[in-house]
Amino acid sequence: MKAVIKKARLLHVSDVWKVHKPQGLGFSDTEIITVAAQEEGGRLVEQDFYCRLKADGTLAHSITKRSEKRQRELQSFIRKYVSKEKAYNVRAGIGEWKGKEVELEKVDNVIIIKI
C-alpha cells in the first residue's frame, strides 16, 4: 500500500512525558519523531520513532541495544524515503518530509510504515 506523509514533527521526550518515560525507552532516547501518512483510501497512519540526536541534528549512537535497534530503524526509514546522505540533519530537514511517498504494510493486524 502507498501513502503520502501529511505531517512529520520532532518532539522532545520531556514534552510528552513530564515525570517518567514509559518502560522500555532507554536513557539515550531523547527525541520522538512522529510521522503521519495518509493512505490512498483516506486512512491516516501514525508512527513514532524514538531516537537520540546530536546538537547538530544528526543521529547519535544510543547506549542500549534496544535504543540502538530503534535508531537503526529510523536510519533505514530516512535512507529509504528521505535522504541517502550519511550525516542527514533531522532537525533541519524534518519540514521537508511532508509530501514524500511511503509504503505501508500490515503486521499483526496493525498498519505501519514499511522500513
Annotate 28-66 with DSSP letters as a single string.
T--EEEEEEEEETTS-EEEEEEEE-B-TTSSBPPPSSHH
pLDDT of residue 38: 96
pLDDT of residue 65: 87
Q: Averaged over 31-57, what is the pLDDT? A: 93
Q: Averaged over 70-94, what is the pLDDT? A: 94
Task: Enter the C-alpha cell of residue 40.
Answer: 490512498
pLDDT of residue 15: 87
pLDDT of residue 53: 93
Main-chain dihedrals φ then ψ at residue 64, nearest 5 degrees: -95, 160
pTM listed for this prediction: 0.88
For residues 94, 96, 100, 105, the Cα torsion angle rounded to the nearest 10 degrees is: 0
Sequence spans of domains, the chain:
2-113
Q: What's the pLDDT tens digit per position in 5-22?
A: 999 999 999 888 887 777
- pLDDT bin (cut points 50, 70, 90) of residue 90 is very high
